[in-house]
Amino acid sequence: MLVDRSDQVEKGQLLAELDSGLERAAIDTKSAQAAYAGRRLERIRDLTAAKLITEQEVDDIGTEKSIANLELRERREQLKLKRITSPIDGVIVERMVTEGDLVTGGEVFRIVRLDPLYVETVMPLERFGTIAKGDKYRVRLQHLESTHEADVVNVDSIIDAASSTYRVRLKLDNPGYKIPSGLKCSLFSI
């Protein structure tokens, strides 16, 4: 386990790795076999030109090289199964396992993307039709006493009959993760 809760991670970053000594040894073996087959193929090129080796022998050695390279690729793919990398730039919000736990599938980490943040708001029915995708609003963050500009990215077309409201989603850029997620906020027209 190379990361823990609250750690910032980048896309492709190694987060955890299972014991992979056997897979690494298999890769070394297949690399040596592929290199040897390549050297044999190079050595017989002169023999082929002088007609001192049959086409069958050349084909056999070429096939050995191809098979060795394919097996090497297979071993590298097997090694990838022992590694967990981050699919996104984000922050680890939960680690579901610890070192030594048996991992049989399922979640190992929960990662969230904090740039951009999404502001989810519920609007009264009276405002329906006045807000459109692409509109800009000021978002005032309650606890930080700061205001930021956000773009409307989604307006629900379904009204909640019980409350006579609908949902609107805005996108708020958050470079450097300066704004924490989960804050209450207020919207103002620009």
Any idea what the CATH number is for the domain that residue 52 is in?
1.10.287
The pLDDT of residue 10: 92
Any idea what the CATH number is for the domain that residue 142 is in?
2.40.30.170
The pLDDT of residue 32: 92
The closest of 81, 76, 71, 78 to 30, measured between CA atoms, is 71
Residues 89 and 77 placed together within one structural domain of the fold: no
Number of domains in the chain: 3
Residues 104 and 77 placed together within one structural domain of the fold: no
Residue length of the chain: 190
The pLDDT of residue 23: 87
Residues 74 and 27 placed together within one structural domain of the fold: yes
| Structural domain span for residue 90 | 1-18+83-113
Residues 10 and 74 placed together within one structural domain of the fold: no
Q: Where residue 166 falls among pLDDT bands split at 50, 70, 90? A: very high
The pLDDT of residue 133: 94
Which residue in this structure is represented by tokens 């993307």? 113
The pLDDT of residue 101: 77
* Residue 117, beta-bridge partner list: 172
The closest of 179, 162, 174 to 89, measured between CA atoms, is 174
Sheet strands (E) in 44-95? 83-85, 90-95
Residues 139 and 61 placed together within one structural domain of the fold: no
Residues 121 and 137 placed together within one structural domain of the fold: yes
The closest of 109, 91, 100, 120 to 185, measured between CA atoms, is 120
Residues 132 and 185 placed together within one structural domain of the fold: yes
Q: What is the pLDDT of residues 73-118, one digit of tens each?
A: 999 898 888 888 999 999 999 998 888 777 777 788 999 999 999 9
This prediction has a pTM of: 0.61
